[in-house]
Amino acid sequence: MPVIFAYIFVVFIWATTPLAIQWSNSSLDFIAAVTLRLLLALALCVVSMRALRFPLVESKRDWLAFVAGAIGLYPNMLIVYWSAQYLSSGLMAVLLGLYPFAVGFFSLLLLKENVFNPMRIIALFIALLGLAIINLDQIALGSDATYGVLGMASSSLLFALSTVWLKALGGAVNPLRQSTGMLLLASPAFLLTWFFLDGQVPQQIDMKSMLGVAYLAVAGSVMGYTLFFYVLRHCSIASVSLIPLITPVLALSIGAVVAREQVSLLTLAGASSVLLALMLYQNIFGLLFNAITRRRLAGRVPGTVSGTEVSKRVRVADETVPGPVAE
């Protein structure tokens, strides 16, 4: 599959996942919902592996990759499902926008790659300001949503740690084997958590929960994780961290249309600050300026600027304005 198609599918799945999580929690306790989702996903992955005759492990190093990926599931997904009790699906997607900043931090810590320039440091402070505005609004409303905000911020850190660790390992494991391996490691932890903290077998499951769990098991876990690891394998960290920039707007729209979710003006201001910070962090304005410059130079009257001169000027613009580059 072309990487661009996998990238688009990942964006769509990430945008619809928060609403699907809320649906799965409709008649299920959040621990039961996430545990059931991952057990179904593991079963589907095992069937797919058997059908394709893929071995689970090809080298001992694969287990390290499975552990790194499993951190993105446990306790990360448990925190996400817990946070979904207090937040709208759109706001959950906005808060996942903190993920690129966390990726930058762990890239510096694990990969020894300093991605923070002065503009990105400014963007980080704007994102933190937006997070503070959202929290203040929820506290002023007397809402428990501030717990969800802090939970999603913690989730971004865990998911970023998992992503960067996998990238540091080289991403050599086949995406389907990676999904199966990490689900195999994480599922027992979820079962034990459900047994000790809940342990109640659901007596009745409504249609929303069934649809949510089924969608998340197939699209969110099997397809979503496999495609994400495929994208991670073929793209740079910077390109992958663009995904949370695209998904919040789509998720907010889906939440408003499908679930009729409403967002206060102050929360909207905080969300806008986070999105603005993401645009600055990913140098979107610089890339747009670069594209406009390229078009203007290429559109000059023939003879005024030679093709060599155009290429030279564009190359200079590219070097001046850094941005995410696919590997």
3-state secondary structure 78-94: HHHHHHCCCCCHHHHHH
Closest CA to 248 of 97, 119, 101: 97
Closest CA to 155 of 18, 8, 265, 324: 18
Tell me the two tokens of residue 85.
Answer: 């009790």
| 276-300 mean pLDDT | 81
Contact in structure between 24 and 216 (CB atoms under 8 Å): yes
Residue 218 has pLDDT above 60, yes or no: yes
Tell me how crowded residue 45 is: count the other CB atoms within 10 A of its CB: 26
Tell me the two tokens of residue 278.
Answer: 């993401």
Separation of alpha carbons 130 and 138, rounded Å: 13
Enter the pTM of the model. Answer: 0.80
Separation of alpha carbons 216 and 324, rounded Å: 29
| 43-63 mean pLDDT | 93
Separation of alpha carbons 168 and 183, rounded Å: 20
pLDDT tens per residue, range 138-150? 666 666 888 888 9
Residue 320 has pLDDT above 60, yes or no: no
